């Protein structure tokens, strides 16, 4: 049966940023498809809530509070995962994000922090878990990139550059680790999460973003969870090094703000 290829029964997945939003949605999707999950994020209370949902679905959940910006905590996440389950099959590098702001105001420290948060943390975990995946014979990694990694708009120089780097890192790792570990990414469009709520709480702005999206609505965490399940499952066993665009058909930025560049020339007066 074709649906059996989307099952991930008894596989083990490590998911960062799993307490809320897209990470939470992916964790629940994988559990419903049969996987046990390791849940990592800074806030233990949100992780425990997700763990209870996973356990109600009949699967095991390991909660490991983790600050991804602390390498020692990433190492501890790997150690706890391997101790608890004996190995790992899947990794979802979901943690990341950077607030928008004009390029002229983006300091070197802020730019480097964005790259570290969005890219270096993903490489750290991928590098540490790939050997275990290869040993188990069916390893797969999904990196959560962004539609803005290929689109242009004011205010995203740090975030979009980091996500573009993550997308290409995905291709490079996929090439280097094939055929033992598949590596793909999801270029996520505007998705209804707590992080976007500061914008979508304004119904007019939310409508503007939806109107600028060909599919006429914003994404949901279930949309991203379904895409992640596909890329991790045997259904995608011949897919690696690809960036799956899950963005409602977006071909131009649907960000509802116009952020000035801060530059002016001799003809701007």
Residues 6+ apart with CB under 8 A from 238: none
Closest CA to 122 of 161, 74, 193: 74
What phi and psi values does residue 258 have, to the nearest 5 degrees? -110, 110
DSSP conformation letters of 202-260: SHHHHHHHHHTSTTSS-B-HHHHHHHHHHHHSGGGTT--S-EEEESTT--S--------
Q: Burial letters for 99-131: b for 16+ Cβ neighbours within 10 Å, e otherwise?
A: ebbebeebeeeebebbbebbbbbbbbbbebbbe
Dist CA 89 CA 148 (whole Å): 29
Strand partners, 41: 65
Residue 262 CB neighbour total at 10 angstroms? 10
Point out the catalytic residue in the list 90, 156, 159, 230.
159
Instruction: Using alpha carbons, list the distances in angstroms from residue 169 to 49, 132, 152, 228.
Output: 32, 20, 20, 18
**Cβ pair 227, 246 in contact under 8 A:** yes
Tell me, yes or no, if 230 is annotated catalytic.
no
What phi and psi values does residue 249 have, to the nearest 5 degrees? 85, 15
User: Tokens 């689109």 appear where?
Assistant: 151
Catalytic residues: 159
């Amino acid at each position: 049966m074709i649906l059996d290829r989307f099952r991930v029964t008894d596989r083990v997945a490590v998911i960062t940023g799993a307490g809320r939003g897209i990470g939470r949605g992916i964790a629940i999707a994988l559990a419903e498809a049969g996987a046990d999950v390791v849940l990592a994020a800074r806030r233990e209370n949100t992780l425990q809530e997700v763990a209870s949902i996973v356990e109600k679905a009949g699967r095991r959940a390991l909660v490991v509070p983790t600050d991804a910006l602390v390498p020692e905590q990433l190492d501890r996440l790997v150690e706890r995962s391997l101790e608890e389950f004996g190995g790992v099959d899947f990794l979802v590098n979901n943690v990341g994000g950077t607030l928008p702001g004009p390029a002229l105001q983006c300091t070197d420290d802020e730019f480097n922090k964005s790259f570290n948060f969005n890219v270096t943390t993903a490489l750290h975990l991928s590098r540490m878990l790939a050997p275990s995946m290869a040993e188990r014979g069916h390893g797969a990694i999904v990196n959560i990139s962004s539609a803005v990694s290929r689109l242009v708009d004011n205010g995203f120089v740090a975030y979009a550059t980091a996500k573009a780097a993550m997308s290409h890192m995905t291709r490079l790792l996929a090439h280097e680790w094939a055929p033992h570990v598949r590596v793909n990414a999801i270029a996520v469009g505007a998705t209804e999460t707590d992080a976007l709520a500061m914008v979508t709480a304004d119904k007019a702005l939310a409508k503007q973003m939806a109107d600028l999206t060909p599919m006429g609505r914003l994404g949901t965490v279930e949309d991203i969870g379904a895409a992640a399940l596909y890329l991790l499952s045997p259904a995608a066993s011949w897919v690696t090094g690809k960036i799956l665009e899950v963005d409602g058909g977006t071909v131009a930025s649907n960000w509802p703000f116009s952020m000035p560049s801060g530059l002016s020339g001799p003809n701007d007066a």
